Structure 1
Amino acid sequence: MHAWPASEVPALPGKGRDLEIHDTATQGTITLAPGPVARIYVCGITPYDATHIGHAATYNAFDLVQRVWLDTKRQIHYVQNVTDVDDPLLERALRDGHDWTELAERETALFREDMTALRMLPPQHYIGAVEAIPGIVPLVERLRDAGAAYELDGDVYFSVESDPHFGQVSNLDAEAMRLLSAERGGDPDRPGKKNPLDPMLWMAARPGEPSWDGGSLGRGRPGWHIECVAIALDHLGMGFDIQGGGSDLAFPHHEMGASHAQALTGEFPMAKAYVHAGMVALNGEKMSKSKGNLVFVSALRRAGVDPAAIRLALLSHHYRADWEWTDEVLAEAVARLERWRAAVSRPDGVPADALVEEVREALSRDLDAPAALAAVDRWVDLQLASDEDDESAPGLVSRTVDALLGVAL
């Protein structure tokens, strides 16, 4: 599966700073200092609907991670999946009378268009769950043969008790995990399971649903968590730098995935940092497909909203914060974009060397994009009121905003 084209990232003078990032597992801020190649895995979409602002906010956060690392002169090995077969996708296709593969392909294509418009840097490997199945089956067989998985009426479940580190990603108690498991795709009340929290690794073929050859597992399809594990281990190996996604993925998805990988390899941890973006609300409720309270990036673009303004709206909130999308948020972003463009359109102006370092410093501190925006705002205020004649300043500001914030002026 192919990703989307990459926009060029301008090189800035000097060198950026190592990233301090909040780690869900340790519940504190850690400094990441990867080697020459930084490794990151971000969980992708289940393509049964278009990209909404909540999606865009999450991918914007990890785009900032890439930009900070690029500014430190590192290379990046970025992997993202597409869950192109799963219950929500099949249910939506059945409801609307569409072929599930056509629905997945259409919505994935639209996602690519939205990411391109928002100037999100693409992953080096963009892998669908379906294409990963040949690599998933052997992992499930290994877990079963090692006693870390068991069969139940033809389905195969992972035993969470096989990983001594289970629970150390989300830091939740058993009751909270059980409630979230039921809410987020698990089946804690199924009779016969060894532990209510045990997640499915391989679902035996159901009538009317797609299935694949699973070797000794029989025909079926993979569980949600093992999909990402197979892709991450294949392309990144253990101990990669960041496992990322929305905060609703900390449990069960990232918790279960970490345990799968740790049981398979005997190594700990799967990722050095588990990084989670906050949720975006609309009209007082979390934006979600199940509630239908969505603002789509593609709809905003069709309405003539500049993608750079959408991106500035996302950047105006800290990536870990829960926040609400409103018309005022977008209007403020549109006005900010106009002021910034007016400021850099002048032939000369206020020196900007200090601004570059201010933006670098803000982003290195747990991706503090609002502080970075405030720094640019201060320069813009001075620029629009000044008659200084530094000919290099407007171009340097444009390159800084482009390189570090992904906003084209």
Structure 2
Amino acid sequence: MDIKRISLISAFILVSAGIGFLLYIVFFKGPATQTPPTQQPTTQGPTDFPQAGIGGERPTTQPGGGLPVSGETPGVSGITQQPTAPPVIAPPIRQLVSDTIAGANVRPGAVSFYNNIDGQFYTVDAAGQTRQLSDEVFFNVQNINWSPANNEAILEYPDGSNILYNFDSKTQVTLPRHWEEFSFSSQGDRIAAKSIGVSPDNRWLVSTDPDGKNVKLIEPLGENADKVTIDWSPNEQIVGFSRTGAALGAEREEILFVGQNGENFRSMTVEGRGFESEWSTTGNKLLYSVHSARSDFKPELWIVNSTPATIGQNRESLRINTWAHKCTFADDRFVYCGVPEALQTGAGFAPGLANVTNDKIFRIDTQTGAQTEINTSGEQHTIQSMFVDQTTGNLFFTDMNQPGLFQVNI
């Protein structure tokens, strides 16, 4: 074997060995373990900072002084945050009085009433605070007629006795037993009543001072006392209504307006029977209900002008089936009414058919006829009477089947 061949073989062996060593270094040999250098302690003065490259001991954070980690809500240290309570929403209808009452009457900022259980008079405000009007006890009062101007009322008893009681002076005056169906003037300085004598010739519509003095005969009643309704208008020009007009058939009726001094006011024709009415706050408008074949003999509301110069003008049907006594004016334009959810045919002849029917409450625009239902949250009520406090705008009502006094959130 010549020298050249030997040299090539030797070189090949050396290259192969080198490649194998490199492969071993790259793929099989682990990193060398290094021993960290021993750190020598250094002496540091009280105002010295750690030298660059030398890490001091990491300071610890005291409780409550650190930033919250992800997912935590910042709060006051040591106090557990409670969930926020939802706002309290007042119910749409609130019962202010739970006892059986009668003669509810709105006064500025409050409602006065008679408690049938203990025979005493009270007043309650919109917050539900109740106080006695008098320590006097009045048993078995049948009807209560409040003065719109003074803190007094006429009390009628089942045996025919009548008294005027003033809750400020705590005094009372006895009125004649043959007087009935009282109505105060808007100023409270006069009352109107029916004076029912034994003889028809001695039956009169009269006006008098509240204490019974200065009696004035207005109109003879004769045999027609049951056809006359005493209801003094807010402008004091009209004392009541009489259904003694000309016969107009079964579907129409002439209503006469009665003045204080024998005035010959124009009459008004209504399209139906069963006339009952409510004055607007000024007396310029009259809301009334009648029933007829066109309404399936269900009561239907109408609005009409009612001053002496405009009686019967601008008469419009509101297309609502309810009675006027379930309504009250907020002002000359808007009226609130309890409207039965359903009425049987002929309910106008027999209002008692609706005594257990639930009423919805509507706000009615008497100019446009627009009707807005008031939220009652589905509560079941049958409106007996309804009234608005003109000073606060609060709406109140009594219920045919539930005792007490209720306030509506409007």
TM-score (norm 1): 0.22
Higher relative contact order (CA 8 A, sep 6+): 1
- If each structure's helix is expressed as a fraction of its own residues, which one has the higher value? 1
User: Which structure has the bigger radius of gyration?
Assistant: 2
TM-score (norm 2): 0.22
- If each structure's strand is expressed as a fraction of its own residues, which one has the higher value? 2
